[in-house]
């Protein structure tokens, strides 16, 4: 039975990926600073992976087959200083996993590491990130892939796009709209809504991530995406209607962010290969 170590296992995305892996019949070592849902085949390890004293061998007897590193703070706050302050901690953890002998390591990336881009983001799209979040993800990707190649480790960088679903606990715009509607607000200040993005539900994303780490033939940068652009306004209007929310978007109250493209989506070639479609 394959063993997968997943960090950030009780987080917004990580909790769904933990369930997806458990459903696939693999042994899961779920690492986080707080314990999540009890699931068959899942062993919880409550620890701070950034600690100098952290050693996986203190908690498990054998080296996992795969490490899926998803732990990340403040992912929806793109210019939070924690992204840069935590960067060396993420790299130290990945080095520990390589030195421990883990032969396959996957890390959660983001389309924000690319920065401003119009059109499909492919594996070789140049990166010029415009936020601290994007800069830190881009830096970690470069260092991780370089060191993994040097050590002969199968490396996968799973680049996420725009996520929705399980929204009440999310810090995304979807979660903010739900909370505003529940608070009795009837208008929600919004941007122009014209920008087009690649949206994927957190459930679909989790299935894609699980499929990626349970194989090792497709490696490198893998876009976890739909491959289809949709305008933010159209997506949010659809979301409001589907959830029966009594709230109206107040277009133009906020400016569009200068580092957001009028249209950007993922090239789904590699994820389609992973999923066999």
Catalytic residues: 133
Beta bridge partners of 187: 248
| φ and ψ at residue 6, rounded to 5 degrees | -125, 125
Q: Give, to the nearest 10 degrees, the angle between helix 232-242 and helix 173-182.
A: 40
Pairing relationship of beta strands 187-189 and 220-224 according to DSSP bridges: unpaired
Asked whether 24 and 86 are in contact (CB, 8 A), the reply is: no
Label residue 81 exposed, middle or buried (CB < 10 Å: 0-12, 13-18, 19+): exposed
Q: What stretches of 73-193 show up as alpha helix (H) in DSSP? A: 82-85, 87-100, 132-151, 173-182
Quote the tokens at residue 196: 């087009």
**Residue 259: HSE in the Cβ half-sphere, 13 Å Cα cutoff:** 16
Q: What is the 3-state secondary structure (H, E, C) of 125-156?
A: CCCECCCHHHHHHHHHHHHHHHHHHHHCCEEE
CA distances, 93 to each of 34, 60, 89, 149, 237 (Å): 18, 16, 6, 17, 41
Asked whether 107 and 158 are in contact (CB, 8 A), the reply is: yes
Quote the tokens at residue 254: 């906020």
Quote the tokens at residue 51: 């600690």
């Amino acid at each position: 039975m394959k063993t997968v170590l997943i960090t950030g296992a009780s987080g917004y995305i990580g909790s769904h990926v933990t369930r997806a892996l458990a459903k696939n019949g693999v042994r899961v070592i779920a690492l986080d600073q707080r314990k999540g849902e009890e699931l068959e085949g899942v062993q919880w390890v409550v620890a701070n992976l950034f600690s100098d004293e952290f050693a996986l061998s203190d908690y498990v007897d054998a080296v996992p087959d795969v490490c899926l590193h998803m732990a990340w703070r403040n992912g929806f706050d793109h210019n939070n200083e924690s992204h840069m302050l935590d960067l060396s901690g993420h790299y130290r953890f990945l080095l520990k996993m390589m030195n421990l002998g883990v032969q396959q390591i996957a890390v959660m990336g983001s389309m924000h590491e690319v920065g401003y881009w119009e059109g499909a983001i492919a594996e070789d799209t140049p990166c010029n990130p415009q936020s601290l979040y994007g800069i830190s993800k881009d830096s970690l990707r470069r260092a991780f892939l370089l060191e993994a190649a040097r050590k002969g480790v199968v490396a996968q960088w799973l680049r996420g796009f725009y996520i929705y679903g399980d929204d009440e606990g999310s810090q995304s715009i979807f979660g903010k709209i739900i909370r505003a509607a529940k608070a009795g607000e009837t208008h929600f200040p919004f941007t122009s809504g014209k920008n087009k993005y690649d949206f994927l539900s957190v459930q679909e994303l989790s299935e894609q991530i699980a499929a990626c780490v349970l194989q090792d033939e497709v490696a490198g940068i893998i876009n976890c995406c739909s491959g289809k652009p949709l305008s933010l306004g159209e997506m949010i209007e659809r979301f409001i209607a589907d959830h029966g929310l009594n709230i109206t978007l107040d277009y133009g109250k906020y400016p569009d962010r200068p580092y957001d493209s009028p249209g950007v989506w993922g090239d789904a070639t590699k994820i389609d290969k992973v999923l066999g479609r």
